[in-house]
Structure 1
Amino acid sequence: MDRHATAVWKGALKDGSGTLDSQSGAIAKLPYSFKGRFEDESGKSGTNPEELIAAAHAGCYAMQLSHFLAENGTPAEKLDAKAVVTLVPGTGITGSALTLVGTVAGIDEAKFKELAEKAKAECPVSKALGAINVSLDARLG
């Protein structure tokens, strides 16, 4: 199974800009720029590759954990996952910090944390991010 996305960039690095499109159409002509990637901490200037990696990581992780919880006989009512991807200019992406609040009936905190850690290790995006530090803070809500 292959998935694809397309980036079109026009101009030089600092004053240029680009758009992103995804195979599904969920992302269409989404703008991105140097300012949005390296200067605007608010995130209001458009998307950036790190934000998209964070979205992919949070989504993949939540799906993987939901599978393990269902296998355990304790399906999740809700999993609220967030990934914060850290970019250090001049160094690169240094980490992805996952935080999760789960609403899961019939499971104790220890088993929940065990399955949460297992999902972190086995999520395909976590595996793809193996060159960086991936951390997890998971709790029941």
Structure 2
Amino acid sequence: MTVNSATARYEGLGKDGKGHIWTKRGALDGEPYGFASRFEDGPGTNPEELIAAAHAACFTMALSFALAAAGHSDGQLDTRAEVTLDKDGDGFSVTRSALTLTAKVPAIDGGEFAGIAANAKANCPISKLLNCEITLEYTLES
């Protein structure tokens, strides 16, 4: 079992509050977040951006390992995740994570790649965690 952690602090309340996020391994060290970075174009990060980063990284790593297990030893995978936050009653919900992948994997058949990519999408731990629509579009370059 692997356990990771992060800490968030929010000082002040509502739109006037300001938050900071720290991760156990230091990738985020007091990174700011708040209303402006979540709902406007303010500086800092926000929870949905962090979910997008986690989903892109998790899916890409899952696909990399699946391709290696299928006997492929070289390639490049570039994934963008776009997480959608929609109004839901009095609150909000993450309703979609759209993965867009550009892959360069020498000597792979398009059908084989499609199957491996779909399996990686369905089985990466962050995909399993998300309770929303997950889409995958990809381009396989030679």
Q: TM-score, normalization: structure 2? A: 0.92
Q: Percent identity?
A: 47
- Using the alignment, how far apart are the partners of 1:134 and 1:13 within structure 2? 30
Per-residue CA shift, 1:58-97, capped at 9, x if unaligned? 0000000001111111234210011100011343111100
Instruction: Tell me which residue corresponds to 2:125.
Output: 124
How many residue pairs get aligned? The number is: 137
- Using the alignment, how far apart are the partners of 1:80 and 1:66 within structure 2? 11
Q: Secondary structure at the match of 1:60?
A: helix
Alignment of 1:1-141 (within 5 A): 1-40=2-41, 45-89=43-87, 90-129=91-130, 131-141=131-141
- Using the alignment, how far apart are the partners of 2:10 and 2:23 within structure 1? 15
Q: TM-score, normalization: structure 1? A: 0.93
Per-residue CA shift, 1:6-60, capped at 9, x if unaligned? 00000111111110000000110100010110122xxx52100000000000000
Please list every run of at least 4 consecutive aligned residues from structure 1 whose deviation after the TM superposition is greater than 3 angstroms. none
Q: Which stretch of the first structure deviates more once superposed, 72-81 or 102-111? A: 72-81
Unaligned runs of 5+ in 1: none
Unaligned runs of 5+ in 2: none
RMSD value, Cα:
1.1
